[in-house]
Amino acid sequence: MDKKERIEIRTPMVKAVLEAYDKGQEDENLEPIIACDARGRPIGRLENGDFVIFYDIRGEREIEITQSLTEKNFSEFPVKKDTLLNFVTMIEYKSDLKARVAFPPKRRVKNSLGEVISNEGITFCKVSESEKAVHVGFFFNGRSEKIFRGEHRVVIPSPEGISSFSEKPEMSIELVTKEVISKLSDSETRIVFANFANADVVGHTEDREAVLKAVESVDKELGKILDYCKNKKVTLIVTADHGTVEEWLYPDGTINTGHTNNLVPFVLADFSRDRPNEVKLKPSGELSNIAPTVLQILGLKSPPEMEAESLILDRWKGPKPKKVLLLILDGWGLNEPKEGNMIHEAYTPHFDQIWALYPHAKLKASGEAVGMPPGTVGNSEAGHLHIGAGRRIFLDRVRIDRSIKDGSFFKNRVFLETMNKVKAEKKPLHLLGIVSHYSSHGTIEYLFSLLKLARRKGIEKVYIHSLIGRRGEKPESGAIYISKVENMCRQLSIGSLSTVMGRFWALDREENWDRVEKAYQALVFGEGRRIKIGSEGN
């Protein structure tokens, strides 16, 4: 967000958000704020038969709240009986959800890295913390829920019972390392794909010491991995899916808790050779070059679908390695400036060692290189998808952004049919989702486009349920976005802001059902801080 942006209008909801800041709350974990009429009754709660458009993209953090609102026999926490919603999601979050999808998935990614090595009869294992399990599993496999033949997954639970990972920046990384070494020691497993989550996950917090400790924890465990691979002649590949902590401060000194558009490392240390540094690599590339590189190391041909080329300059000489480890340092970017570079400030002797001694390259992990609009930052979904895909794949964001630009968004069949039913049944329309200039979960422009479409269709009652959170935003950006939403409603003469809450409550993926329940209670029952905004709202 441009630091010059200011609050456009100070409505009761905006004032309530500002008051929450004064009490120490931040955008991401903002307690639910509920709009009420003059008599204190919540406005715009989700009722039986109502129509909801959940306009978020990405999807893995949107599943749990969607399940609670759509599944008839949902049992993770008490829900309102006989409340069936007509639910629409922007993209497919999960194939078995009871929701219509406005932008259905295109064909799955055929012949991803996992599928290719599976077809060759090679046994492989994926190891990650639960915080990154969906990335190493679903996204790495080409956005496929399928587990391939010969594929095994080990998911280490991330720490529970804490309000922020800054409380335990080491997370469960030691257990991940133990599992990686265990699987490499297994005679049946030839390849291990692993993820160290700390730099990314803890990098989204504002705790400097915790971020430094997270980075150093990754380096410490990398040292253990390095020693094992040297001793057991394992071919080691170290890379990252996007940057985060290497640019932890904005130029003005405020904290940047978001992702970056910096390059990421790729290191190849082939300890199966007597001279592991003799392989010649191209100096630069992008994440999609990784899959064909791995296949070349294994002596396998890249399928026609993998349009990217290997990073290895020459023909792979020598015997095929018996064991290969691809280790993803999640959120570990490269950045020359030292100011605000937490990787530079941290003690990282093992990463420094492999970068100095072994063949390496710098890879693009953002923007068009990972199927996103030019200039945009990377993320774990796009990163893992492109590491496994071996080709550029235009993501849902690009497809939706293009549809808004060319006007096809406003002719979307699912949107039109939904709004026609809203009118015919004289029901309200609810718009639920992130409000941000740019988030991997979506953008405020999706909300504005839906409001414009609802106005064209003559919808009378539109209730907005906004999720805020400042990953990559300036502090207290949520109030600015809420002001923008209210201002747009006034300009279009449609829509009423009914709920505001931090994304922490609604966008969970770790089965923290207590968080999801709080979001559900706010949306359905109006539980939260109640603010009088008028007589009836929209």
Question: For 99-131, what is the HEC assignment?
Answer: CEEEECCCCCCCCCHHHHHHHCCCCEEEEEEHH
234 secondary structure, DSSP code: -
Nearest to 412 by CA among 60, 89, 70, 85: 89
Q: Tell me how far apart the alpha carbons of residues 467 and 487 are, in angstroms, rounded to a whole number.
A: 17
Q: Which tokens hold the place of 521? A: 């209670």
Nearest to 365 by CA among 376, 352, 351: 376
- The CATH number of whichever domain residue 351 belongs to comes to 3.40.720.10
Nearest to 246 by CA among 375, 383, 378, 340: 340
Nearest to 260 by CA among 176, 350, 181, 343: 343
Nearest to 276 by CA among 323, 230, 319, 231: 230
Whether the CB-CB separation of 237 and 327 falls below 8 Å is answered with yes
- pLDDT band of residue 470 (cuts 50, 70, 90) is low
Q: Write out pLDDT tens, residues 319-343.
A: 788 999 999 999 999 999 999 999 9
How far apart, in Å, are the Cα atoms of 93 and each of 8, 227, 281, 471?
33, 40, 38, 21
386 secondary structure, DSSP code: H
Same domain, yes or no, for 331 and 247? yes
Nearest to 519 by CA among 506, 503, 531: 506
Q: H or E segment at 203?
A: helix 198-203
What is the span of the domain harbouring residue 80? Answer: 12-104+398-534
Same domain, yes or no, for 198 and 247? yes
Where does a domain end: 392, 424, 440?
392
User: How many domains is the chain partitioned into structurally?
Assistant: 2
Same domain, yes or no, for 125 and 184? yes
pLDDT for 439 equals: 76
pLDDT for 367 equals: 94
Same domain, yes or no, for 317 and 359? yes
Same domain, yes or no, for 85 and 130? no
Mean per-residue pLDDT over the chain, rounded: 93
Q: Write out pLDDT tens, residues 100-111.
A: 999 998 767 899
- pLDDT band of residue 9 (cuts 50, 70, 90) is confident
Q: What distance lies between CA 57 and its chain's CA centroid?
A: 10
Same domain, yes or no, for 261 and 374? yes
pLDDT for 538 equals: 46
pLDDT for 2 equals: 46
Domain membership flag for residue 502: yes
Domain membership flag for residue 5: no
Domain membership flag for residue 2: no
Query: E-assigned strands of 399-449?
Result: 429-434
Q: Tell me how far apart the alpha carbons of residues 186 and 192 are, in angstroms, rounded to a whole number.
A: 10
Same domain, yes or no, for 504 and 417? yes
Same domain, yes or no, for 448 and 527? yes
Nearest to 471 by CA among 402, 345, 380, 401: 380
Same domain, yes or no, for 42 and 93? yes
Q: Give bridge partners of residue 312 from the DSSP assignment.
A: 281
Same domain, yes or no, for 87 and 146? no
Domain membership flag for residue 6: no
Report percent pLDDT > 70 for the chain: 97
Same domain, yes or no, for 339 and 457? no
Query: E-assigned strands of 188-234?
Result: 191-196
- The CATH number of whichever domain residue 511 belongs to comes to 3.40.1450
- pLDDT band of residue 1 (cuts 50, 70, 90) is very low
Domain membership flag for residue 80: yes
Domain membership flag for residue 60: yes
Where does a domain end: 392, 418, 447?
392
The residue-averaged pLDDT of 164-176 equals 96
Q: Tell me how far apart the alpha carbons of residues 226 and 236 are, in angstroms, rounded to a whole number.
A: 8
CA angle at 216 for the pair 239 and 161, rounded to the nearest 5°: 100
Domain membership flag for residue 58: yes
Q: Is the pLDDT of residue 537 over 70?
A: no
Q: Tell me how far apart the alpha carbons of residues 7 and 18 are, in angstroms, rounded to a whole number.
A: 11
Domain membership flag for residue 325: yes
pLDDT for 510 equals: 85
Share in percent of the chain as helix, strand, coil (round to 5) = 35, 20, 45
Where does a domain end: 368, 392, 416?
392
Same domain, yes or no, for 453 and 417? yes
The residue-averaged pLDDT of 463-482 equals 85
